[in-house]
Structure 1
Amino acid sequence: MKIKKAVITAAARGERLYPVADTIQKAMLPVVDVDGLHKPVIQIIAEEAYASGIEEICIVCAPGDGQRYAGAFASLRDNLIRFYQGSDWAQTEADKIDHLLSTTQFIEQSEARGYGHAVYCAKDFVGDEPFLLLLGDYLYVSQKGAKRCAAQLIELASKEGCSVSAVNPTIEHQIGRYGTITGKHVAGQTGMYSIEKLIEKPSLSQAELELQTSGLRAGYYLCFFGMHVFTPTVFQLLQNEVEAGSNNVLLTPALQQLAETEKYLALEMKGRRYDLSRRHGLLRAQVALGLAGEAHNETLTTLVESLAEANS
């Protein structure tokens, strides 16, 4: 199957980033990308999708934010052209923003009814096609020499013709932050699992009883990476709860049904994800992008100098 569409959920208001997220959408916070240029977080995520073969994007956002996103990107494009006239890099970046605006739809989640509802808001955009799902407050950095994280996932989903969720082996004291899965290792395939059970943010005792996965190091569990490829079946599974009027539509129960309904795989990513909503999340993501990109030496020097100054 071919995955041409991506959905980025960016409807949460970013309470954990208050007060900065009170004046600007957290997905528009600036970060220096691997190419050394300052970009809004949402643009970096979109470029991850485009570079992995995605052709159209839907950003699910809070009421009123669709126009704000479009206006902010239009302003960025105009400023690049106005203030850097004759500069090839500025024109290239302006063209990238034009491409983003021309291939992106903004769909507003009218009510804050949970993550599953936010995903469901993209149902009409997706139609009957498989799609890539990304989080608007996560940045993804692949290992040196590896394909982009989204490309790794799309490649497997296309080959196997099924839904695939990205996962990372995660130490036990952190699993309360993530959806956690267990399943059987697919014979002859490194880091690939057939998903059997999923629990959203399990307790350690619950994980010890129900989510142990053979082959992982002791004390580690397979946790969601914040990136998935789904078949449109996921919308059918979400529909009942959405139409029932639930105020907190969760995605994970629908994914448990998906695992019981059709082929559903998990793939260990060759890379790391950075949750920007966590304390120091932006800092950690910025350091990772700096070390992975053109500013590697500069970033390393800055870190060493900062540590020396802090301990002097």
Structure 2
Amino acid sequence: MKPIRKAVFPVAGLGTRLLPATKTMPKEMLTVVDRPLIQYAVDEAREAGIEQLIFVTGRGKSSLVDYFDMSFELEATMEKAGKSLDPLSASRADFGEIVSVRQQQPLGLGHAVWCARHIVGDEPFAILLPDDLMVGKPGALRQMVDAYARLGGNIVGAMEVPADRTSSYGIITPGARDGAVTEVTGLVEKPAPAEAPSNLAVVGRYILQPEVMAILSSKERGAGGEIQLTDAMAKLIGRQPFHALTAEAVRHDCGDRAGFVLANLAIALGRDDLRPVIEDYLATR
């Protein structure tokens, strides 16, 4: 099996659920405590052994790439003042680590992934959706890469959702289960609760074989008139091994106002330098 060296970050979305904050700022640059969402996703990818980060961006998203560049003026000023540059270390990309391509039209997640086809080439690759903030040790993608080493094929991140929320997710038709791993025998995008084959939903982490790009090339439209990644993945089932992993991680939907606020609270409470202040504040409410 080829190793997972590349990861695609579909970051061209408009972030309309978080307006007006996202009117001029990419939602992936919104901060959870003291780092932007894109930093959490990149950290997770690096921990999983990813060597090349492929950003699929859109107009007005240049700050995502700029963030990982060196800031000469800032760093020179900090050094002159005797301040440590350690807080900036994770936000620096190695030479050639980040590649950026444009999704020129908002045609869906499947189309965004397809835009990275020439960089992905003939290798298996990961996909991370930064607004799905996954908190775990090791990270969710590291757990999926370890499962891939045993199982091969395609692996998606999964979690159980309330039955009345299936219309918001890609839903798995489950086969045999082995601990946290579930065989995937079918996938359907955003089914109504009465039509859902389970309540096991796909969340924003994927490891896919390159053959999915050829399927996406047909540009077949699915739910919402968009090119759906779920529909393309469904066509791999039966042709290649396909599993779902329920990672030991907590998911925060940071594309949603409430989810974003709760993510900030949860991350802050997990930090020794912030928890006492927040607990004191909450105790007085």
Q: Deviations over 1:56-112 (max 9, x none)?
A: 1001111352x3333344375752452355444x2x343433325741111110111
Counterpart in the other structure of 2:150: 159
Counterpart in the other structure of 1:197: 186
1:40 aligns with 2:36: yes
Cα distance in 2, alignment partners of residues 166 and 183 from structure 1: 13
Counterpart in the other structure of 2:14: 13
Counterpart in the other structure of 1:137: 131
Local SS of the residue matching 1:261:
coil
Local SS of the residue matching 2:91:
helix
Counterpart in the other structure of 1:185: 176
| 2:54 and 2:101 in contact (8 A); partners too | yes
Cα distance in 1, alignment partners of residues 252 and 15 from structure 2: 15
Aligned-pair CA distance for 1:204: 1.0
Aligned-pair CA distance for 1:293: 4.0
2:97 to 98, 103, 111: 103
| 2:172 and 2:201 in contact (8 A); partners too | yes
Cα distance in 1, alignment partners of residues 263 and 91 from structure 2: 22
Counterpart in the other structure of 2:117: 123
TM-score (normalised: structure 1): 0.82
In structure 2, the CA distance between the partners of 1:112 and 1:238, relative to structure 1 (3 Å rule), is: same
Which 5+ residue runs of structure 1 have no aligned equivalent?
Answer: 33-37, 213-220
Aligned-pair CA distance for 1:270: 0.6
| 1:3 and 1:158 in contact (8 A); partners too | no
Cα distance in 2, alignment partners of residues 48 and 105 from structure 1: 17
RMSD: 2.3
TM-score (normalised: structure 2): 0.90
Counterpart in the other structure of 1:279: 257
| 1:70 and 1:101 in contact (8 A); partners too | no
In structure 2, the CA distance between the partners of 1:63 and 1:260, relative to structure 1 (3 Å rule), is: farther
Counterpart in the other structure of 1:26: 27
1:54 aligns with 2:82: no
Q: Percent identity?
A: 28
Instruction: Letter of the 2:35 partner, please give it.
Output: K
In structure 2, the CA distance between the partners of 1:293 and 1:162, relative to structure 1 (3 Å rule), is: farther
In structure 2, the CA distance between the partners of 1:81 and 1:5, relative to structure 1 (3 Å rule), is: farther
Q: Which moved more, 1:171-180 or 1:68-77?
A: 68-77
| 1:141 and 1:292 in contact (8 A); partners too | no
Counterpart in the other structure of 2:205: 227
In structure 2, the CA distance between the partners of 1:304 and 1:95, relative to structure 1 (3 Å rule), is: closer
Aligned length: 281
| 1:185 and 1:194 in contact (8 A); partners too | yes
Local SS of the residue matching 2:232:
helix
In structure 2, the CA distance between the partners of 1:72 and 1:266, relative to structure 1 (3 Å rule), is: closer
Cα distance in 1, alignment partners of residues 266 and 28 from structure 2: 18
Counterpart in the other structure of 2:284: 309
Cα distance in 1, alignment partners of residues 191 and 95 from structure 2: 39
